[in-house]
Amino acid sequence: MFPVIRFALLVVFLAMLLLPGAWAGSRQLMVDAHLHYVDFMQDSEGMDALMEAMDRAEVKQAWLFGLPVMKKWQAQAPRQPRYYLGDEAPLYYYSATDDILAGAVLALPADQQARIRAFISGFNPTDMHAASQIEALIERYPGMWYGIGEILTRHDQLTALTEGETPRANHPALMKVYQLAASYDLPVLLHSNLSSLREETPIFLPELEEALEAHPQTRFVLAHAGTSGGVEDQQSPLKTLVPILRALLERYDNLHVDLSWSVKEHYLLDEKGVSEEWLSLIEDFPDRFVLGSDLVGHFDSLEKQLGAFQPLLDALPKKVAEQLASGNAGRLVPKSGAVKSARE
Ligand SMILES: [Zn+2]
């Protein structure tokens, strides 16, 4: 064999050895910015399972929240539902989710508490009481809360199955919540689909824009980049998603984008890898994107969910990949948890 070819093969071999190692090193720094401690029945595998999964996935910190809704098990149901789409039974708002989370966090030793950034989610986003309910939680658990969300508005079948008034990003009750978030320096993780089933235009975009526009001091994180499974499973998802996000990011400095779940599965990654369109969007706004697993109460697949972002991280410049994997999520939350007296 020619020496030059031998040398080239050696270089390739060494690169294969070194690259995954380099990746594993940067993954140590990962922050999961979308993780639900409980499922739709408000059950959880618990903190031991979560910490183990975080270790395995090399996640140093997680934004952790409950779920604001609970699936009803109706007497005539053929079986106990396992997911919110398990049958046609409704969901209802379940505020105990925050106390379940707070209790679990308080039971942790200090080093493990430091890996959790707990968010308040258990309120009805159409109730004008929501903001004062959040403030009461801040008072009840001083220093516990680092953010508000995931707030569920426009979420296809989930919204349709949730009892009561339909939530929307510009609801007056939420406008008060955004104001409160700014006053406590808390980010808001907001689920607000841009579009609906069988719609190819972003019919809900004006609601989101109204919220962003009215609260320039509030840091918003748009869950799943404004998508959700039910909408995107249809034949024609929102083809203009990337240009819409680009326009929003240009217009609103207070907007950040979470790339978990449906956006990852239906837009970001395909067999060919990551499209140029997405790469240039993230490179043009390197401090505006975060990653997450969106697991609900069961944490076994944390490594798999976050590992799925690897082609994206590998395709980005190293600094941008680090911002996306951990830096942005770290910067979006305050340095310490909210305390009521600190504001007054
Ligand atoms: Zn979620």
Distance 34 CA to ligand 1 centre (A): 6
pLDDT for position 47: 98
341 CA from centroid of ligand 1 (Å)? 30
Q: Can you read off the two tokens belonging to residue 312?
A: 């994206």
Task: Outline where 28-119 has alpha helix (H).
Answer: 47-56, 96-106, 110-113
C-alpha 110 – ligand 1 centre gap (Å): 26
Cα 269 to Cα 69, 105, 246, 306, 311: the distances in Å are 30, 34, 18, 13, 8
C-alpha 228 – ligand 1 centre gap (Å): 10
Measured in Å, residue 2 CA sits from the centre of ligand 1 at: 56
Provide φ and ψ at 178, rounded to 5°: -65, -40
Q: What distance in angstroms lies between residue 92's CA and the mean position of ligand 1's atoms?
A: 16
Between CA 139 and CA 123 the distance in angstroms is: 16
Task: State the distance from the centre of ligand 1 to the C-alpha of 79, rounded, in angstroms.
Answer: 25
- How large a percentage of the chain has pLDDT more than 70? 89
pLDDT single digits (tens) 210-261: 999 999 999 999 999 998 876 555 554 688 899 999 999 999 999 999 999 8
Q: Under DSSP, is residue 36 helix (H, G, I), strand (E, B) or coil? A: strand
Cis? peptide before 232, omega within 30° of 0: no
Separation of 65 CA from ligand 1 center, angstroms? Answer: 9
Find the 159 Cα to ligand 1 centroid distance in Å. Answer: 13
Answer whether residue 344 shows pLDDT above 60.
no
Task: Provide the Cα torsion 30, 295, 292, 312; round to 10°.
Answer: 90
> Could you give the angle at which helices 172-183 and 130-140 cross, rounded to 10 degrees?
30
- How far is the centre of ligand 1, averaged over its atoms, from the C-alpha of 149 (Å)? 9
Taking the centre of ligand 1 as the mean of its atom positions, its distance from the CA of residue 14, in whole angstroms, is: 40
In tens, the pLDDT along 51-83 reads 999 999 999 999 999 999 999 999 999 999 988
- Per-residue pLDDT, averaged over 78-103, amounts to 94
Residue 99's pLDDT is: 98
Residue 192 has pLDDT above 80, yes or no: yes
Over the range 264-303, which residues count as b (16 or more CB within 10 Å of their CB) and which as e?
bbbbbbeeeebeeebbebbeebbebbbbbbbbbbbbeebb
Q: What pLDDT shows up at residue 29?
A: 79
Q: Are 257 and 189 a contacting pair, CB within 8 Å?
A: no
Cβ–Cβ under 8 Å, residues 136 and 160: no
From the CA of 154, how far away is ligand 1's center (Å)? Answer: 13
Type of residue numbered 193: N
Q: Give the distance (Å) from ligand 1 centre to CA of residue 244.
A: 21
Q: Which of 116-130, 257-271, 328-342 has the highest mean pLDDT?
A: 116-130
Write the pLDDT tens digit of every residue in 153-185.
998 888 889 999 999 999 999 999 999 999 999
CA 303 to ligand 1 center in whole angstroms: 17
Q: Which of 3-17, 41-55, 62-76, 298-312 comes out lowest in average pLDDT?
A: 3-17
- The mean of the pLDDT values for the chain is 90
Q: What is the band of 25 on the pLDDT scale with cuts at 50, 70, 90? A: very low
**pLDDT reading at 105 higher than 60:** yes
Long-range contacts of 215-219 (CB under 8 A, 24+ apart): 215/175, 215/178, 215/179, 215/182, 215/254, 216/252, 216/253, 216/254, 217/182, 217/254, 218/178, 218/179, 218/181, 218/182, 218/188, 218/254, 219/181, 219/187, 219/188, 219/254, 219/256, 219/332
pLDDT at 238: 81
SS3 state of residue 340? helix
64 CA → ligand 1 middle, Å: 10
Domains, in order of start, for the chain: 33-339 (3.20.20.140)
**Distance from the alpha carbon of residue 13 to the mean position of ligand 1, in angstroms:** 40
